[in-house]
Amino acid sequence: MALAVLYTFRRCPYAIRARLGLLLAQCNVEIREITLKTKPLEMLAASSKGTVPVLVLVNRDVIAQSLDIMRWALTQHDPLDLLCHKNPADADKMAALIEQNDVQFKPWLDRYKYSDRYPEQTQTDYYQQASRFLIQLEQCLSETPFLVSHTPRLADYAIVPFVRQFAAVETKRALSDDFPAVAVWLERLMSSEIFIRAMHKHVIWNASHAPIYLLEDL
C-alpha cells in the first residue's frame, strides 16, 4: 500500500513535532531523513520553500508546516483527545501557547543559541528574553502536570522540541535552577516511549535504498 512520505531532519524541532504527531496518531509514513545542506530534488519539487518537515500525501497534496502535519494526523486518529475536542477552552489555550512558542519564543531561542551571529545583545540578554515564555510555561505547570491538563496534549508535544533545544544551549546552566517545573515536564516527555521513538536515528535517504517506515518497528 502506498504511504505518505515525510521529509525530515532528526534534530529539527519542527520535524520532531511532526514525527511526534504522526506517531501519536499511529499514522504510518515513509521516512526520508535529509541533510539541510543537500536537500533532495524530490523534496524541493514537492515544496520549493525548502524547509523540513514536508509531508507528501498519497494524492500528492503537500503539507509543509509542522503544526499542520500534527493536526492532519490527529484529525484522523486521536484516541487520547490530544486536540482537546472535548474541551474547547483547553483547545484555545493550547493554540495560544503554540503560537507564542512559534512567533515569540523561537526567534529568541535562535538568538540565544546562535548568539555569536547576533552581536547586538549578549547571550544572557537573549536567555532572559527567551525565558519570558518559560516563565509562562512554569505558571501553567504550577496548575497541572502538563501544559493544559493532567495528561500531555497537542501543546506539550508541539512545544517540547523547542524547550529541549533551549535546555541544551549552555551546559553550565541547569534548566531546573530557573524553571524547576519545566525541567520535570521536559524530562517526563523526553523519557517517554513516544519521544524516544520520534528521535530514532535513520540513515540519510537515498532513492536506491529500501524505504524506511515510521511505524516499522511498532
For ligand GSH, the binding residues (CB under 6 A) are 12-14, 36, 50-53, 65-67
The CA-based angle 149-191-112, given to 5 degrees, is 85
Cβ 102 to ligand GSH shortest distance, Å: 7
Cβ 54 to ligand GSH shortest distance, Å: 8
Q: Which is nearer to ligand GSH, 27 or 183 (CB)?
A: 27
Cα(111)–Cα(142) distance, rounded to whole angstroms? Answer: 28
Cβ 67 to ligand GSH shortest distance, Å: 6
Q: Which is nearer to ligand GSH, 36 or 80 (CB)?
A: 36
Q: Which is nearer to ligand GSH, 19 or 153 (CB)?
A: 19
Q: Which is nearer to ligand GSH, 72 or 149 (CB)?
A: 72
Q: Which is nearer to ligand GSH, 106 or 149 (CB)?
A: 106
Here the cell at position 97 is: 501557547
Cβ 150 to ligand GSH shortest distance, Å: 27
Strand bridging mode 212-213 / 62-63? unpaired
Cβ 85 to ligand GSH shortest distance, Å: 22
